């Protein structure tokens, strides 16, 4: 199965990169290699593959987005933030180590994400700058999204604000994962525009679906605490537009995503399959 191969590939590369971080290596490996769906690297590899470009050229991008994602989870789980003790079915980084180590492991992972891209010897400088421009911006938006998320705890918010928060907090990096693949593949402008619409749609759909799964799926399957958002009085899609409305919203977004794939200059079957897999996911 193609996706499994991408996951195996990125896991091997992540493992390879995480060997020379001195006193931070252990905490970084603990969090990054604990698992996770590797959804962002899968997106980057899918897009690169679709355009017939050697996956080797996408390894640094795939790892970079995953490092940014991993750092954000470590920091989000901190007591001062979402205060979650379990991540990927094991104690969160700040529980297994301590808060200071978790803060620093996250800080180090953010630096490492950019470092692996900068030092990729297979890509020329111009492409690397394009990749870094996307990734630095997405990383910033993610932090800003998390700040908005924390600011609306216990608040009644409009669906527009919730959407804007999700587009930054989760959507920006998911969208970036697709963008990086398109840049590595040096795809044309029209394809990039279509892929942007695609990635923004699945980025938001994924989050709304997360809100739904958080209510519907047993805790052992999620790998983290269930009802964690609603119990913290964070506004969620179901809390604003209901469970059924939320399901319809994310299904419509997945449909929109599928639609734009049809107009790409290349066969996008792999991304069509990915959407089907996402729609069917239970965690």
- Interaction site with its own copies (CB under 8 A): 21-24, 71, 75, 78, 80-81, 98-101, 103-104, 106-108, 110-112, 114-115, 118-119, 124-126, 128-129, 132-133, 136-137, 139-140, 143-144, 146-148, 150-151
* Helix, strand and coil percent figures for the chain, each rounded to 5: 75, 0, 25
Nearer to its own copies, 90 or 136 (CB): 136
Q: CB 133 → its own copies: shortest distance, Å?
A: 5
Nearer to its own copies, 153 or 252 (CB): 153
3-state SS, 238-256, equals HHHHHHHHHHHHHHHHHHH
Nearer to its own copies, 24 or 86 (CB): 24
Distance, in Å, from the CA atom of 59 to the CA atom of 117, rounded to the nearest integer, reads: 9
Q: Quick check: 242 and 163 in contact, CB under 8 A?
A: no
Instruction: Specify the DSSP class assigned to residue 60.
Output: H
Nearer to its own copies, 78 or 217 (CB): 78
Q: CB 154 → its own copies: shortest distance, Å?
A: 14
Distance, in Å, from the CA atom of 60 to the CA atom of 134, rounded to the nearest integer, reads: 14
Distance, in Å, from the CA atom of 85 to the CA atom of 103, rounded to the nearest integer, reads: 15
Nearer to its own copies, 139 or 249 (CB): 139
Q: Can you tell me whether residue 235 is helix, strand or coil?
A: coil
Sign of CA dihedral 149, 154, 160, 161: negative
Closest CA to 234 of 248, 250, 214, 252: 214
Q: CB 212 → its own copies: shortest distance, Å?
A: 26
Nearer to its own copies, 131 or 257 (CB): 131
At 202, list the tokens: 């699945």
At 253, list the tokens: 């977004």
Q: CB 139 → its own copies: shortest distance, Å?
A: 4
Nearer to its own copies, 26 or 279 (CB): 26
Closest CA to 73 of 42, 100, 109: 109
Q: CB 102 → its own copies: shortest distance, Å?
A: 8
Q: CB 203 → its own copies: shortest distance, Å?
A: 18
Q: CB 174 → its own copies: shortest distance, Å?
A: 16
In this structure, what is the dihedral angle of CA atoms 158, 159, 161, 167, given to the nearest 10 degrees?
Answer: 170
């Amino acid at each position: 199965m193609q996706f499994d191969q991408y996951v195996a590939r990125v896991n091997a590369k992540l493992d390879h990169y995480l060997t020379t971080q001195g006193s931070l290596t252990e905490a970084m490996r603990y969090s990054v290699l604990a698992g996770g769906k590797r959804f962002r690297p899968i997106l980057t590899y899918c897009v690169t593959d679709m355009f017939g470009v050697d996956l080797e050229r996408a390894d640094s991008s795939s790892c970079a987005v995953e490092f940014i994602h991993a750092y954000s989870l470590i920091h989000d789980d901190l007591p001062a933030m979402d205060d979650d003790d379990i991540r990927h079915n094991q104690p969160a980084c700040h529980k297994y180590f301590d808060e200071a180590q978790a803060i620093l492991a996250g800080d180090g992972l953010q630096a490492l994400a950019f470092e692996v891209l900068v030092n990729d010897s297979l890509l020329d400088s111009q492409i690397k700058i394009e990749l870094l421009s996307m990734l630095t911006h997405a990383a910033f938006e993610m932090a800003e999204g998390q700040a908005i998320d924390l600011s609306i705890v216990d608040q009644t918010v409009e669906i527009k604000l919730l959407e804007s928060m999700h587009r930054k907090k989760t959507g920006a990096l998911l969208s970036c994962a697709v963008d990086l693949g398109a840049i590595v593949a040096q795809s044309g402008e029209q394809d990039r525009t279509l892929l942007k619409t695609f990635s923004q749609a699945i980025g938001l759909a994924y989050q709304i679906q997360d809100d739904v799964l958080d209510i519907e799926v047993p805790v052992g399957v999620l790998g983290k605490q269930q009802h964690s958002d609603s119990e913290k009085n964070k506004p969620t899609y179901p809390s604003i537009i209901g469970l059924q409305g939320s399901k319809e919203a994310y299904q419509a977004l997945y449909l929109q995503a599928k639609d734009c794939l049809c107009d790409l200059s290349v066969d996008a079957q792999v991304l069509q399959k990915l959407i089907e897999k996402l729609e069917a996911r239970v965690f």
